[in-house]
Amino acid sequence: MLADQALDRLQRGPDRSAGHREFTSDLSIEELAAVEEAGFEPRELVGGTCVFRVGWQFMGWTEAREVDVLSTAMYESRERAMQRLVSEAARVGADGVVGVHLDIDFDHWGSGLGEFTALGTAVRHRDRPGSMRTPTGEIFTSDLSGQDLWMLLRTGYRPLGLVMGCCVYHYSAQGISQWFGNLNQNAELPNLTSAFYTARELAMDRMQKEALGLGAAGVVGVTVSQQSHVWGGHTLEFLAIGTAVRAMETATAHDPTRMVRHLDA
């Protein structure tokens, strides 16, 4: 019985002969099983932090346009957090990092300061360490869960890296009223429409360019969102983020998906 085998092992106590290093992870039990089934072993809970000063002054524009310095600052800060996460993963000889959460906080450090933190579990291929790094030898990163990683590999693709594009846009309050024109009409607001539409497309395009730079076949699990953060309602960051993937050279054949009907639900 499983309970007996488990308790026997506990009673045997620490196995000091095994030279391997103990791992740490933020993997759930299901993820641990999936990651191991996919041929990996967890190595370390890794992270990267970037605390930055957010500074920008509204210059009294009467139109909507990108705030280049903020776009750059947000992008740079995230990039640094991710690079540091990758450095920590490199130190433990990882192939990649799964389950990356990239969080932003503006309260923690006090007003005027923002913090990006990336956290995930570095994993290594069990039988062929290093074989699952990217074609250029980089450590892969992804926000995919352990189960997603297993499923992705099964589909014949491997993760390359988390890719993102952002675009911070500001629209002026004064500008809006002059666009309204006849207030009793239904009408599209063409200037604002074009501005917001363009801002999102820019974010998506920048993400796409990152993926192209990695030699990806595509990007999965993309989320496109917008947030004001601490800048007040007239400034929005549009963010597109996803995992770049690449087709594997040798994909293993597998059975097609089966449909089941649960009797217990």
Partner 1 sequence: MNERALGVPEEAERRLAELKGTAEHAGIFTSDLSVNEFLLVKEAGFDPVGLVLGSSIYHIGLQSPRFGQSQEITNLSQAMYEARELAMTRMEAEADDLGADGVVGVRLDINFYEFGQHSAEFIAIGTAVKGHGGSYRNAAGKPFTSDLSGQDFWTLLQSGYLPLGLVMGTCVYHVGRRSVSGWLGGLGQNQELPNFTQGLYQARELAMARMQAEATEHQAEGIVGVQLKEESHLWGSHTIEFFAVGTAVRPIGGSTPEMAKPALVLDLGG
Partner 2 sequence: MPDLAPPWGSTLSVAELAAVRSEGFSPVGQVMGTCVHQVFAYGPNYGGGLGMGGYGGGLGGGRAYGRGIAGGLGSYGMGGGFGAGPLGGGGPLGGGPLGTGGPFGAGAGLGSWMTVELTGYSEALRSARRLALDRLAKEAQGSHGVVGVRLRVRWLEETARILEFTAIGTAVRAQNRDAKGQPFLSLLSGEEFAKLLRGGYVPCGVAIGVSALWVGGGAGVNWTTMGPGYEIQQYSEAAARARSSAIAGMHEDLRRLGADGAVGGNVVAQVTHQQEGGLPVRTVEFSAMGTAVMRFDKDGPDPISPVLGL
In the bound state with partner 2, the residue whose beta carbon lies nearer, of 109 and 180, is: 109
Task: Spell out the long-range contacts of 138-141 with Cβ–Cβ below 8 A and sequence spacing 24 or more.
Answer: 138/86, 139/86, 139/89, 139/90, 139/94, 139/95, 139/96, 139/97, 140/95, 140/96, 140/97, 141/82, 141/85, 141/86, 141/96, 141/97, 141/100
Among 62, 63, 109, 197, binds partner 2 (CB under 8 A): 109
In the bound state with partner 2, the residue whose beta carbon lies nearer, of 117 and 142, is: 117
| Tokens encoding 136 | 């250029």
Instruction: Measure the CA–CA gap between 93 and 88, rounded to whole angstroms.
Output: 9
Does residue 132 interact with partner 1 by CB under 8 A?
A: no
Does residue 112 interact with partner 2 by CB under 8 A?
A: yes
Query: Minimal distance in Å, beta carbon 112 to partner 1?
Result: 22
Site residues for partner 1, 200-219, by CB under 8 A, read 200-202, 204-205, 207-209, 211-212, 216-219
Does residue 162 interact with partner 1 by CB under 8 A?
A: no
Q: Which residues contact 160 (CB under 8 A, 6 or more apart)?
A: 134, 138, 140, 211, 214, 215, 216, 243, 244, 245, 246
Site residues for partner 1, 172-201, by CB under 8 A, read 173, 176, 180, 182-190, 192-194, 196-198, 200-201
Residues of this chain that interact with partner 1 (CB under 8 A) are 144, 148, 151-152, 154-155, 173, 176, 180, 182-190, 192-194, 196-198, 200-202, 204-205, 207-209, 211-212, 216-224, 226, 233-234, 236, 242, 256-264
